[in-house]
Amino acid sequence: MSAQRKRNFKIEAFKHRVDLDPKYAEKTWKVLEHAIHEIYNHNASGLSFEELYRNAYNMVLHKHGEKLYSGLVTTMTWHLKEISQSIEAVQGDLFLDELNRKWGEHTKALQMIRDILMYMDRTFITSSRKTPVYELGLNLWRDNIIRSSKIQDRQLNTILELIHKERTGEVINRGLMRNITKMLMDLGSSVYQEDFEKPFLDVSASFYSGESQQFIECCNCGEYLKKAERRLNEEMERVSQYLDTKTEPKITCVVEKEMIANHMKQLVHMENSGLVNMLVDDRYEDLIRMYNLFQRVTEGLRLIRDLMTSHLRETGKQLVTDPERFKDPVDFVQRLLNEKDKYDKIIAAAFNNDKSFQNALNSSFEYFINLNSRSPEFISLYVNDKLHKNLKGVSEEDVEIVLDKVMMLFRYLQEKDIFEKYYKQHLAKRLLSGKIVSDDAKRNLIVKLKTECGYQFTSKLEGMFTDMKTSQDTMQGFYASQGFEAGEGPTLVVQVLTTGSWPTQPSAACNLPAEILGVCDKFRAYYLGTHSGRRLTWQTNMGTADLKATFAKGQKHELNVSTYQMCILMLFNSVDRLSCKEIEQATAIPSQDLKRCLQSLACVLGKNVLRKVPMSKDIAEDDIFSINDKFMSKFFKIKIGTVTAQKESEPEKQETRQQVEEDRKPQIEAAIIRVMKARRVTGYNSIVMEVTKQLQPRFLPNPVVIKKRIEFLIEREFLERDEGDRKLYRYLA
């Protein structure tokens, strides 16, 4: 091997020189062109797929892709123009049918053509960035048929007309519609939207605008809502049947706007059938419908809620400020409870337990309950009534339910401490009147109050119960120590009340009859013997007595009277007639109380054990009293209470309120101190805010009162003003 000449061997591609007939391209194209024609003329069966594919392949290979493509465009366009004309020529109702049919044919043809020209699709088109065949076919259809001037409008109008017909109750060919809309969607979402959806929405808007106007003039609210709901459902069904799903939110929006949003206010305020009437009549079905429909619209629910709130406040206010209602506190509260029940039901059944509605309900109740400053008192009376009466035949659960409901009302009260005061008074009266009421029910309420308001609130109430219990034990001990004295002297039952737990009442001691005094002193001695260091004071204004009375004709009765009344009646054991003045002197009963007692003994039919001369209702100093010999009653036991005056008289009310105000002062001061201790230095506004928050479970403090207490504390040198900023207060340790 000589390395003299190096020869580089080149390996070259084998050039296959194909002599292309210059007319080759033209010839091949003609074949393909012919094929396309045949396809469009439904003569495709005679064609050879393989041959056509090969032809197209060759053309592209030999760089005739451009010719092929442009030829395709031309040919298809020509055909489409033909088709367009034939569609235009169709008369009347068959227009859409024809359009649909031709579309079907076109797509089939397109598929075949695409298959044939697949090689071009994959190579020439990608490299030259032309539109692929199928898409090209669609675009050509769009431009030549759909957007052709003669067809475009007609198509749209026909579709819209059909929809309108359906809306007015006729049946239309939904299948056809589905195909047409599908065609539009296939052509591109912008085609669908511009050529159909937008005008559809516009037309629908004006249709519903007109219809809603019509309805609102002739229908009442409930009917209107039914119709609106129906239309809404219709549209949704329409979409699911033959429109694109994306249209659903748009068309529902249109219906909501036209039928609901535009007429919301009018509907809600409609006389005799609007929201207020629905609420009053408990029309749950209508309310549910309204809620569901209005939910779809912005501010819809707010409208309902606001109207409900203002209506509720109005009704509540009327309830609470109607002077007629004050005469029966129990009924007053019952009505409030009923109202609450009603709305609870409505919110649960119709408003889906919507929290915002609950809140509106709560705030309304809180608003109007506190409009009447006697609400706390009335609620206390109601509780009193429910626990006191009706315990026969009412199950514990029912009582429990009632108490829970009352607690709800109680929470709305701003002045809870007033409730406490009254409840104490009423409870005291009940406990001391010797009425045996279910302990459990009372205890239940106290437990609930404790959970709500804290221990301090209920400690006094519990103290009262404890006293009652202790007194029972004390009595047993007393009688045991006395030995059995049958029939000697009156039987004494004593309740020892711890001052501070019980509501204070000025005790004006009256002159007890001698028989009573004796046994009272024995008790006093016994008690102080076991409890030295305590002081006992007889509360003669709070006791009761059972008297055995024999009248002139031999009638025997047992009278249950108050201690005062007993003192009065016992006088007549020794004297026949007495003037009012004399009675007053003998018994030392305060004048006001005396008058009331005498009235109840002499002026009430069926209980007039005393006779009064003159026989007037009023008691004057010189009126003469004597035992009523002619007294008749079918009952053996007669209860002659003093006017049980459950509701307070005006001066008593003032007094109670004043006491409460006095009680509040130290509480406010304590709260202020707590706040200042924590914050050291702070401004007036934040003191007010914090103090109000702290006292919220008991009452709502008046800012002016808070200010006065602050100044009081400054005087007492618990606080001082900051030297630099006079608006700040500083805690003095």
Partner 1 sequence: MHKLGRGHRDKVQQFMAITGSSEKAAVQALKASDWHLEGAFDIFYSQPHIRTVTDSRHLEELYNRYKDPYVDMILVDGITLLCNDLQVDPQDIVMLVVSWHMKAATMCEFSRQEFIGGLQYLGIDTIEKFRDKLSYMRSELKDEQKFREIYNFAFGWAKEKGQKSLALDTAIGMWQLLFAERHWPLVDHWCQFLQVRHNKAISRDTWSQLLEFAKTVDLQLSNYDEEGAWPYLIDEFVEYLTENGIVQRHQN
Residues forming the site for partner 1 (CB under 8 A): 683-685, 704, 707-708, 711, 714-715, 721, 726-729
Q: Write the single-letter amino acid at 464.
A: M
**CB-nearer residue toward partner 1: 222 or 701:** 701
Give the CA distances from residue 656 to residues 384, 421, 424, 503, 651, in Å, rounded to whole numbers and listed in that order: 18, 8, 12, 10, 9
C-beta of residue 286 within 8 angstroms of C-beta of residue 278: yes
Angle, CA of 73, 74 and 77, to the nearest 5° = 80
CB of 679 to partner 1, least distance (A): 15
Start-end of H helices in 90-148: 94-116, 118-122, 124-128, 133-141
Q: Which is nearer to partner 1, 445 or 688 (CB)?
A: 688
Pick between residue 525 and residue 681 the one whose CB is nearest to partner 1. Answer: 681
Residue whose CB is less far from partner 1, 349 or 689: 689
Shortest reach from residue 418's CB to partner 1, in Å: 24
C-alpha distances out from residue 675 to 253, 701, 706, 711, Å: 54, 15, 12, 15
CB of 414 to partner 1, least distance (A): 22
Tell how far CA 511 is from the center of its chain: 59
> Judged by CB, which is closer to partner 1: 609, or 688?
688
Q: What minimum distance in Å lies between the beta carbon of 684 and partner 1?
A: 4
Q: Rounded to the nearest whole angstrom, what is the least distance from the CB of residue 417 to partner 1 in the complex?
A: 22
Asked if 691 and 701 count as a contact pair (C-beta separation under 8 A), the reply is yes
Whether the CB-CB separation of 107 and 148 falls below 8 Å is answered with: no
CB of 685 to partner 1, least distance (A): 6
CB of 436 to partner 1, least distance (A): 51
| Contact (CB, 8 A) for 289 and 225 | yes
Closest to partner 1 by CB, 524 or 708: 708
For residues 51 and 585, give the distance between their C-alpha atoms in angstroms, rounded to a whole number: 140
Query: What's the min distance (Å) between Cβ of 305 and partner 1?
Result: 32
| Neighbouring C-beta atoms of residue 652, cutoff 10 Å | 12
User: Hey, is 540 helix, strand or coil?
Assistant: coil
* Six token digits for residue 616: 């007037």
Q: Evaluate whether 333 touches 409 at the Cβ level (below 8 Å).
A: yes
Measured from the CB atom, is 662 or 717 closer to partner 1?
A: 717
Q: How far apart are the first and last CA of the chain?
A: 119
Rank residues 206 and 685 by Cβ distance to partner 1 and give the closer one.
Answer: 685
Distance in Å, CB of 707 to partner 1, minimum:
5
**Cis ω before 614 (30° cut-off from 0):** yes
Residue 142 or 709: the one with the smaller Cβ distance to partner 1 is: 709
Could you give the maximum distance between any two Cα atoms of the chain, in Å?
174
Q: Please, which residue, 388 or 679, has the CB nearer to partner 1?
A: 679
Cα–Cα distance measured from residue 574 to residue 570, given in angstroms and rounded to the nearest whole number: 8
| SS3 label, residue 578 | strand
CB of 704 to partner 1, least distance (A): 6
**Which of 524, 707 has the CB closer to partner 1?**
707
Q: How far is the CB of 713 from partner 1 (least distance, A)?
A: 10
Q: Is 491 exposed, middle or buried (0-12, 13-18, 19+ CB in 10 A)?
A: exposed
* Dihedral, 608, 610, 614, 617 alpha carbons, nearest 10: -40
Shortest separation between residue 718's beta carbon and partner 1, angstroms: 12
Interatomic CA distance for residues 732 and 681, integer angstroms: 10
**Cβ proximity to partner 1, 255 vs 687, nearer residue:** 687
